[in-house]
Structure 1
Amino acid sequence: MTTDDGPSEGERRDVGDGSQERQAGDRASRVAPRLPMLLDAVLDVGSEGELASTLQHVVDSAADLTAARYGALALAGPAHGRGPERGRSRIAELFSYGLSEDERRRITRLPTGHTGLLGNPGSTLSLGVPVRVHNDVLGYLCLARKQHGPFTEEDLALLRVLASQAGIAIGNARLYGTARQRARWIEGAAAVTTALLGGESAADALTTLANSARILAGAAAGVILQPTDDGGMEIVAASALDDPGDFVGTTIAPGSPVLTQLLGGEPVYIDDSATDPRMTTHVRTRFGPSMMLPLQSGGRLIGTLALPRRRGGRPYTPVDRMLATQFASQAALALLLADAQHNRERLAVYEDRDRIARDLHDLVVQRLFATEMMLESTRRRTDGAELSDLLGHAVDELDSTIQEVRTTIFALQQPPADAPTGLRGKVLRETAGAAVLLGFQPSVHFNGAVDTLVGDPLHAGLLTALRGALAAAHRREGVTSIEVAVDAVARLPNGRDGVRLVVSDDGERDDGGEGGTTVTWEAER
């Protein structure tokens, strides 16, 4: 077989027995008739739009120009095999001329230049040249069984021209594909940035990032990991073609071989997640090629973006790795900006709530309190029982309004996430709010598992009683201390289990007696 690596002695015998001088003299006359056909073939190759059509046209033109019965252009796939077979490339794509389907199936290995088109060692009836892009050999363009005599040096020269055209077409297609791929990643990064800055929660933002990266990379899953307090990493968000329900919460334990790189902000590239000893999570068995990319910006590591493909999936190319790494850097910056924007918005809300609370306290509460004091003073000076009762009722209503406004003020001063949900927290919130008007903090005691034993239906009644008791204590003279006790395991007078609230103060009693006032509220659990 004649190859492009320089003909051997045997190869020179394949192309004729005449001297080189005679061959050189005859070459022009033999090539000249085929030059217009070659030019047409080259022009046609350059005009083809799709790469597959272009490569098929190369094979057809090579066979026509050399009068070969069979032709094939075989492009290499990933290397396979072990031992002596290791490094032998399988065929990824095959374009043929004159071959039957059975003959096509027989071509299982990429021709190396030492065998015939159909794998016949030592054949003198075949011709082959490598197809190169720059210095990389991507495959071979081969011909077999010239219709009249053996292949000549002129046939080899024509084949080289067409092989170079095939290489140019493949190179251009690669450049175009890389450009389109880069454009998709850039558009994806812009879309993710827009989504992250659109006000999504932190969890939704990470899920959006994982899903977008998975789609762009053609991965089976997109996974976000973040460092844990014990020095490991945990999956906090995931997107997958299948249900990713068991992904979130999966951890990489401290000491895992990949952690040093990940926590150091270095990317990790894996050929087969299922068999790589560095991978330790239970989900690794589902995946093959994978990229684990740091999400970091300005020296701050937010986490890791992992993009595994299915077992046996297409390996990531250097271009894939470069584009995904750039995407991860852009996404990390967007996450930091989104976090900063969220913090600014929260700060603005807190500042506005603080202003409202301050205005309520400084204006509304003071006016209500002043009105209450005037009504209370008027009631004490009035002799008429009916008018006194009416004024007393007005005082009570004003006091209740003050308590409600005070509760609102206190709630406005708390972050939304800090709003209590249990009874214990609600009682502490009420007493802390009352301290604003009382001038001191009431003492609070709990007995039993208050949040567990006292259900939500009882909360409203207990809190209403507590507010009323605190409001009454505020109106009494001489109150310097208040004790609030909540007993979740109280035994009621009827012998049943219940909850009891007791509010005691040291102020003057309404009946003029000594010892302060005690208000009790109780209910069955």
Structure 2
Amino acid sequence: MTDPAGHDVVADPLPRLPPLLEAVLSVGTDLELRTTLQHIVDAAAELTGARYAALGTADPGQDGLIELLPRTPSGGTPVSLRSPGAAPPATGSLTVPIRVQDEEFGTLHLAGKESGAAFTPEDEQLLHVLAAQAGIAIGNARLYEAARQRERWIEGAAAVTTALLSDGSATDALTTVAERARILADASAGVILQPNEAGGMEIVTASTYDDPGDIVGTTIAPGSPVLEQLLGGEPVFIDDSATDPRMTTHVRHRFGPSMMLPLQAGGRLIGTLALPRRRGDRPYTSVERLLATQFASQAAVALVLADAQHSRELLAVFEDRDRIARDLHDLVVQRLFATGMMLESTQRRGTTDDVHETLGKAVDELQSTIQEVRTTIFALQQPPADAPTTFRGKVLRETAGAAALLGFAPSTHFTGAVESRVTDANAGHLLTALRRALATASRRPAVSRIEVTVDATATLPDGREGVRLTVHDDGRTEDGSTGTTVTWQAPL
């Protein structure tokens, strides 16, 4: 617009104020960054009447952005996102920078007004106002996205800690860390490397979308440029694994951007967590690198705690087995000594009837001792971390539980093929009866010995084959007598 003297005059912007307010409001309606940028492009085109609008970012990888589809007229052909320094043709185009705080985020490009006219100074003025609001909206979207990422990584670290402190082997623990990190980082693979005897590092576990078989076992040989940093516990960030001269493994050609993060806690280097992406994938942002580094530190602490917990469990098993060995030693030695004294006394007496009776008692004691040894050996062979699944194991678990209350282990004997002859229904009833009998015996005064016998060769009063449980203790009863025997039986 020109005055009578032919000078350019900026038109009054008030008639276009409502569209401007609507455009300003629209760019801040969503906190997702990519959606926010699309709102900015659409709002700029609507506000100025441009047929084409596109937004080029100064650093495409900084916010995880590779490409943003431009706005085009209905039925038109999309215009490719231009490089940061490029702009549309000078004729009928308009370019406005977008700043987020003091940082240049990118440039908004407009071209070809639908009316066919050129862009006016008023269009440029309105676009600057929109760009200022766009910078605020982008900043908010960045904060929201960073908060969401941080929340996901914190939840992932908590889930890893919980999983590691539950039952599992060291290999399972490393696999858990690798798999969870791969998912959180949106990586192609998650691998754990550990130092090997040759002085290099070796991939000991891997989590990938495909079969990781050819990845596990891959080594970084001594002398590799990246090895010194890894063994020193320094993080390594790589833009392209396939072309980076520091990478020397035979699988590097598959991957692009990568992070290699130390797993160390308390000065101890457990290994390295590597998170490579596929070739051509977007690079890791600074926020992703920071969050992944923090995750690796927390995972290393969890691995150390899990290892310490496993060591404590093993120590408890060894202490328990040492106690069983002492009990076994005392029991066996006492019985053998008593049997020896019995035989020696019989030898001195020399009476035939006494000899036969004493020898019979000696044989019974020896058989009982042998049974005790077999039962104890079976208990030592049970997996310490697993609940017993066999009937024999369940009986031993009940007697072991009673030992904690009694202060001594009940003597347990098995006769016959208890595993194959005792049905599941009978086993459940027998264990209930055993549990009740042991609890009752533990409350009697002066109990120093309890004998538990499970006989799968018993004959019931009606002549049928059956299983019989006998629990005998030497405690005092209410009437002052000593010794109580509880019997439970059922047909097979």
Give me the TM-score of the superposition, normalised by structure 1. 0.64
Of the three residues 319, 333, 337, the one matched with 1:351 is 319
Number of aligned residue pairs: 380
Match of 1:335 in 2: 303
Match of 2:136 in 1: 168
Of the three residues 262, 278, 283, the one matched with 1:310 is 278
Match of 1:109 in 2: 82
Task: Give how far 1:43 is off.
Answer: 2.2
**Structure 1, 326-335 or 192-201: larger mean CA deviation:** 192-201
CA RMSD between the two structures: 3.4
Asked if 1:94 is matched to 2:76, the reply is no
Task: Give how far 1:414 is off.
Answer: 11
Of the three residues 328, 336, 343, the one matched with 1:369 is 336
Change (3 A) 1:277 1:412: farther
Structure 2: distance between partners of 1:45 and 1:360: 79
* Contact persistence 2:190–2:206 (CA under 8 A): yes
Structure 2: distance between partners of 1:76 and 1:174: 14
Structure 2: distance between partners of 1:253 and 1:58: 50
Match of 1:127 in 2: 94
Task: Give how far 1:405 is off.
Answer: 5.4
Structure 2: distance between partners of 1:91 and 1:220: 17
Task: Give how far 1:175 is off.
Answer: 1.5
Match of 1:40 in 2: 22
Structure 2: distance between partners of 1:252 and 1:17: 76
* Contact persistence 2:178–2:207 (CA under 8 A): yes
Match of 2:347 in 1: 380
Structure 1: distance between partners of 2:336 and 2:119: 111
Structure 1: distance between partners of 2:288 and 2:25: 32
Change (3 A) 1:44 1:278: closer
Does the residue aligned with 1:273 lie in a helix, a strand or coil? coil
In structure 1, give the amino acid aligned to 2:83: L
Higher Rg:
1
Match of 1:182 in 2: 150
Change (3 A) 1:79 1:196: closer
Task: Give how far 1:397 is off.
Answer: 5.8
Structure 2: distance between partners of 1:205 and 1:247: 18
In structure 2, give the amino acid aligned to 1:243: D
* Contact persistence 1:235–1:247 (CA under 8 A): yes
Change (3 A) 1:239 1:52: closer
Asked if 1:31 is matched to 2:19, the reply is no
Of the three residues 55, 62, 65, the one matched with 2:44 is 62
In structure 1, give the amino acid aligned to 2:326: R
* Contact persistence 2:156–2:184 (CA under 8 A): yes
* Contact persistence 1:55–1:95 (CA under 8 A): no
* Contact persistence 2:55–2:81 (CA under 8 A): no
Task: Give how far 1:241 is off.
Answer: 0.7
Task: Give how far 1:407 is off.
Answer: 7.9
For residues 371-420 of structure 1, the C-alpha deviation after alignment (integer angstroms, 9 at most, x for no partner) is 21133224424656686466446545645665675688799899989xxx
For residues 193-242 of structure 1, the C-alpha deviation after alignment (integer angstroms, 9 at most, x for no partner) is 01111122111111111111111111111111111122111222211111
* Contact persistence 1:219–1:310 (CA under 8 A): yes
Of the three residues 229, 234, 237, the one matched with 1:261 is 229
Change (3 A) 1:416 1:60: closer
Structure 1: distance between partners of 2:5 and 2:349: 141
Task: Give how far 1:128 is off.
Answer: 1.2
Identity of aligned residues (%): 57
* Contact persistence 1:69–1:146 (CA under 8 A): yes
Of the three residues 41, 50, 56, the one matched with 1:75 is 56
Task: Give how far 1:50 is off.
Answer: 5.3
Match of 2:482 in 1: none
Equivalent positions of 1:133-172 (< 5 A) are: 133-134=100-101, 135-145=103-113, 147=115, 149-172=117-140
Does the residue aligned with 2:245 lie in a helix, a strand or coil? coil
Change (3 A) 1:335 1:60: closer
Structure 2: distance between partners of 1:396 and 1:45: 95
* Contact persistence 1:125–1:150 (CA under 8 A): yes
Change (3 A) 1:412 1:347: farther
Change (3 A) 1:111 1:275: closer
Match of 1:321 in 2: 289
Match of 1:9 in 2: none
**Structure 1, 171-180 or 149-158: larger mean CA deviation:** 149-158
Structure 1 unaligned spans of 5+: 1-14, 81-89, 418-525
In structure 2, give the amino acid aligned to 1:212: R
In structure 2, give the amino acid aligned to 1:187: E
* Contact persistence 2:188–2:275 (CA under 8 A): yes
Change (3 A) 1:16 1:267: farther
Match of 2:466 in 1: none
Give me the TM-score of the superposition, normalised by structure 2. 0.68
Asked if 1:196 is matched to 2:171, the reply is no
Structure 2: distance between partners of 1:224 and 1:315: 20
In structure 2, give the amino acid aligned to 1:258: V
Does the residue aligned with 1:333 lie in a helix, a strand or coil? helix
Change (3 A) 1:259 1:405: farther
Structure 1: distance between partners of 2:84 and 2:239: 26
* Contact persistence 1:59–1:71 (CA under 8 A): no
* Contact persistence 2:31–2:140 (CA under 8 A): no
Structure 2 unaligned spans of 5+: 385-492
Match of 1:237 in 2: 205
**Structure 1, 252-261 or 181-190: larger mean CA deviation:** 252-261
Structure 2: distance between partners of 1:240 and 1:77: 32
Structure 1: distance between partners of 2:363 and 2:119: 114
Structure 1: distance between partners of 2:66 and 2:200: 42
* Contact persistence 1:214–1:220 (CA under 8 A): yes
Match of 1:421 in 2: none
Does the residue aligned with 2:28 lie in a helix, a strand or coil? helix
Change (3 A) 1:371 1:18: farther
Change (3 A) 1:18 1:380: farther
* Contact persistence 1:225–1:237 (CA under 8 A): yes
Structure 2: distance between partners of 1:69 and 1:62: 8
Does the residue aligned with 1:93 lie in a helix, a strand or coil? coil
* Contact persistence 1:350–1:415 (CA under 8 A): no
Task: Give how far 1:357 is off.
Answer: 1.9
* Contact persistence 2:31–2:141 (CA under 8 A): no
* Contact persistence 2:70–2:81 (CA under 8 A): no
Does the residue aligned with 1:335 lie in a helix, a strand or coil? helix
Match of 2:178 in 1: 210
